[in-house]
Amino acid sequence: MATQLSRKEKAVEIAKILDNLYPETPIPLDHQDTYTLLIAVLLSAQCTDERVNKITPLLFEEADTPQEMVNLGMERIKEIIRPCGLSPQKSKAIFELSKILIEKYDGKVPDSFEALEALPGVGHKTASVVMSQGFGVPAFPVDTHIHRLAYRWGLSTGKNVVQTEKDLKRLFPEQDWNKIHLQIIFYGREHCPARGHKVDECSICSQYMRKSLIPKK
């Protein structure tokens, strides 16, 4: 079932399948600018994009700038974002990073990994999403879903998202990183779920799935 190709060859073939299915790659999280994108990505931790997109309009109706968010206050932020989960931590991070943006960056979101990752509640994956989707800088945000698919497809043996990100960056051209990571997310949701996955109906797994994961007949 699984074709014997090198990782690089496999990546080229998988990219063709993804390009065919997803020639356009809209950003899954609704936002108006880099600040609202940053907040939406922060809220998406351990929460679905669908739920975040239901909550952010309520939040941004009351505050969609750092100053308005600080004026709104941590308790009100927590109340609005509660359905996204982890609301105590997330509301504190949103409030504190908004203060820092005002004090240190004139209310603007900085356009460097170092500055973004220094903000409360912003890890490497969140920074990568903002850099790629907000500023158009080549990045390859790897969440648990991309990590799972990269292993399933034999593109990485990384034990964590850090190693998987390095592997994927080596396999795909830098100019395609921003597009590919979104295509993988879309494909995983629609065709390659963690559970109830039908290998024979999956265009990628039916050809390129890691041998050890192929279900025995």
Per-residue pLDDT tens digits for 94-141:
999 999 999 999 999 999 999 999 999 999 999 999 999 999 999 999
Mean pLDDT of the chain: 94
Q: Hey, do 7-26+140-213 and 34-135 end up sharing a CATH topology, with the first three levels equal?
A: no
Tens digit of each residue's pLDDT (9 = 90 or more) over 182-204:
999 999 999 999 888 999 999 99
CATH architecture for residues 7-26+140-213: Orthogonal Bundle (1.10)
pLDDT band per the 50, 70, 90 thresholds, residue 180:
very high
User: What does pTM read for this prediction?
Assistant: 0.91
Counting beta carbons within 10 angstroms of the beta carbon of residue 64, is it exposed (0 to 12), middle (13 to 18) or buried (19 or more)?
A: middle
139 closest CA partner among 148, 131, 147 = 131
**For residue 2, is pLDDT > 70?**
no
Unique residue bearing structure tokens 């060859």 = 9
Counting beta carbons within 10 angstroms of the beta carbon of residue 212, is it exposed (0 to 12), middle (13 to 18) or buried (19 or more)?
A: exposed
What is the average per-residue pLDDT within 73-78? 98
- The C-alpha R_g of the chain, in whole angstroms, comes to 19
Report the pLDDT value the prediction gives residue 216, as an integer from 0 to 100: 66
Report the pLDDT value the prediction gives residue 171, as an integer from 0 to 100: 97
Report the pLDDT value the prediction gives residue 1, as an integer from 0 to 100: 46
Other Cβ atoms less than 10 A from the Cβ of 30: the count is: 16
What ranges do the domains of the chain cover? 7-26+140-213, 34-135
CATH of domain 34-135: 1.10.340.30
Q: Which two tokens stand for residue 125?
A: 């994956």
**For residue 4, is pLDDT > 90?**
no
Active site positions, annotated: 125, 143
Share of the chain above pLDDT 90, in %: 90
Report the pLDDT value the prediction gives residue 3, as an integer from 0 to 100: 46
